[in-house]
Amino acid sequence: MPSKDKKQWQRDTLEPSVKRFPERREKFQTDSGLDIDPLYSPEDLQAQGLDYDKDLGYPGEFPYTRGVQPNTYRGRVWTMRQYSGYGTAADTNERFRYLLDQGQTGLSIAFDLPTQIGYDSDHLLAKGEVGKVGVPICSLEDMETLFDQIPMDKVSTSMTINATASLLLCFYIAAAKKQGVSQEQISGTVQNDILKEYIARGTYAYPPRPSMRLVVDVFKYCAENVPKWNTISISGYHMREAGATAVQELAFTFSNAIAYVQAALDAGLKIDDFGPRLSFFFVAQNNLFEEVAKFRAARRMWARIMKERFGAKDPRSMMLRFHTQTAGVSLTAQQPDNNLIRCTIQALSAILGGSQSLHVNSRDEALALPSEESVQLSLRTQQILAFESGAADVVDPLGGSYYIESLTNELEAKALEYIQRIDDMGGSVAAIEQGFQVREIGDAAYQHRQEVESGERTIVGVNRFTTEEPPIEGLMRVNEEAARIQVERLERLRLKRDNGAVKSALERLEQVAQTDENTVPAILECVESYCTLGEICQVLRGVFGEQEGAFTF
């Protein structure tokens, strides 16, 4: 132990130093507004009641604060994914194959907005959006093209899709079958997290309660038929991108997760039948140490929620497995090369925090879809961190740091307070219907904006250290012909398919949707009959209704 206690050290050493060298700002805080002391010591952990055996333990042991695997990256480095999708299925297939050739180890599909909310590319509401922020997938034919020459039994695929998650999963299963790959062999993740769409992102189709049914139907189907598939990726990322703090990201993500687990239990599933296939998706923001602490707190919180709240017995149900993406909202159009540094710091936080899967954004994403050169550089960033930095050589390398442990405890405590408030409202769905999360995130985003505009928060190249710059060259542009090509392809499909089989499959789906029967087999029948995504969603809208606006009151 030090010869002085912390208070004595501050009195004898720090305070005289501060008088000679004033602090460079009035207060030091994390991005979530947590106060940062100038020094951390064992006394801080004692004051928080940290129990090393109970709260930390070893990696691979409950409560998994230090990691869900005993050897983490010494056994295998994280899955390197680059989120990709644009133009047409053929365009995106070309990008996928390029990335795999460059050493990417998993695919991550970005879908265009019409696909995300359940409209075909030729729908009036799709005009101007086809292929712009992702790939359009209107039918099984598109999914077959997307994975042409990509062995679906060898690659793990993540699909960022929510309102239409069960449809895209069925497209994927059917495309794999066309390759001779069974649904028992495929592996990957479907995001399937509809609740955060009402909170932050807006790509919903139906009201919350029937949407929850579709989520649980995927849980049920995959538990029985697709054993290697992660049935949900419960996302804090999009709420944080909308302005949430790290505390809110943890709290709202786990409140949503609790709602999903409870819905599955209410539907008759057993916790350990689906618990091991739940996964999560978090952001990595700029504040390196807060983000590392956030990931460590998340593992501990989830382990205890599953064990103590839901009575899970299988250790795999208690292990929080998560994908991380660097923060898109932190990227700036000004001085875009600065984004390379931001993304490297953010990626490092995810690695030091023990993420199982990582996507690193590209330098030019504040200006356009990333170019081939930019995505290669983002992938190289991951590879340098994995194989040159030494960050992957030790499990939980920052564990035991007085600052990290104190911050981990504080983030957990404040997130649990939020969860209790949401529980008192009746749970996440009820809180969403009351507009609670939307208001809280809006307030946090407003405060952040005020700090940037006042100069209290520095954004390098934006409100300090600015320069006049020439326009960046070499930005990617989506082929303007892509939408026309996609629509013509869709028209040809409708002419050549068996429209009698299409009508029969859609009628069967409508019948199933009006009962408590699982919708996934009926959707799969529609997909294999070459019904389009828009046709299937129209049937479901007819039964479930349509969500027309967010809960903001």
pLDDT single digits (tens) 373-394: 999 999 999 999 999 999 999 9
pLDDT at residue 330 greater than cutoff 60: yes
DSSP helix/strand/coil, 483? helix
Q: What is the mean pLDDT of residues 109-124?
A: 97
Q: Within the chain, what is the greatest distance between any pair of CA atoms?
A: 86
User: Is the pLDDT higher at 31 or at 239?
Assistant: 239
| Nearest-5° Cα angle at 320, 293 to 218 | 140
Using 50, 70 and 90 to split pLDDT, how confident is the model at 411? very high
Poorest-pLDDT segment among 7-21, 169-183, 202-216, 526-540: 7-21
**Sequential DSSP letters for 212-266:** HHHHHHHHHHHHHH-TTEE-EEEESHHHHHTT--HHHHHHHHHHHHHHHHHHHHH
Q: In terms of Cα–Cα distance, which of 15, 37, 81, 51 is closest to 289?
A: 37
| Nearest-5° Cα angle at 394, 388 to 398 | 105
Alpha helices in 305-371 (DSSP H): 315-318, 338-352
Per-residue pLDDT tens digits for 452-470 = 999 999 999 999 999 988 7
| Nearest-5° Cα angle at 256, 250 to 258 | 100
Per-residue pLDDT tens digits for 504-524 = 999 999 999 999 999 999 999
pLDDT at residue 25 greater than cutoff 60: no
Using 50, 70 and 90 to split pLDDT, how confident is the model at 550? low
Provide the pLDDT for residue 3. 60
| 187-190 β-sheet, strand order | 229-230, 187-190, 156-160, 106-110, 79-84, 357-359, 322-326, 278-284, 232-235
Confidence (pTM): 0.92
CA 128 to chain centre: 26
Per-residue pLDDT tens digits for 127-138 = 999 999 999 999
pLDDT at residue 24 greater than cutoff 60: no
| Beta-strand runs (E) in 7-78 | none
pLDDT at residue 19 greater than cutoff 70: no
Task: Say if residues 432 and 195 touch (Cβ distance below 8 Å).
Answer: yes
Q: Can you give the C-alpha Rg of the chain in angstroms?
A: 24
Straight-line distance from the first to the last Cα atom of the chain, in angstroms, rounded to the nearest whole number: 54
Provide the pLDDT for residue 4. 67
Provide the pLDDT for residue 553. 39
Per-residue pLDDT tens digits for 49-69 = 988 888 898 999 999 999 999
Provide the pLDDT for residue 22. 59
Spatial neighbors of 360 by CB under 8 A, at least 6 apart, are 82, 325, 326, 343, 344, 346, 347, 378, 379, 381, 382
User: Is the pLDDT higher at 17 or at 466?
Assistant: 466
CB atoms near residue 467 (< 10 Å): 7
d(Cα 342, Cα 452) in Å, to the nearest integer? 17
DSSP helix/strand/coil, 88? coil
pLDDT at residue 552 greater than cutoff 70: no
Question: In whole numbers, what is the pLDDT of the chain averaged over residues?
Answer: 93
Domains of the chain as residue ranges with CATH: 52-454 (3.20.20.240), 483-544 (no CATH)
DSSP helix/strand/coil, 26? coil
Q: What is the mean pLDDT of residues 447-453?
A: 95
Q: In terms of Cα–Cα distance, which of 378, 380, 289, 383 is closest to 326?
A: 378
> How are beta strands 278-284 and 322-326 bridged, if at all?
parallel
Provide the pLDDT for residue 2. 58
Bridge partners of 464? 460
pLDDT at residue 226 greater than cutoff 70: yes
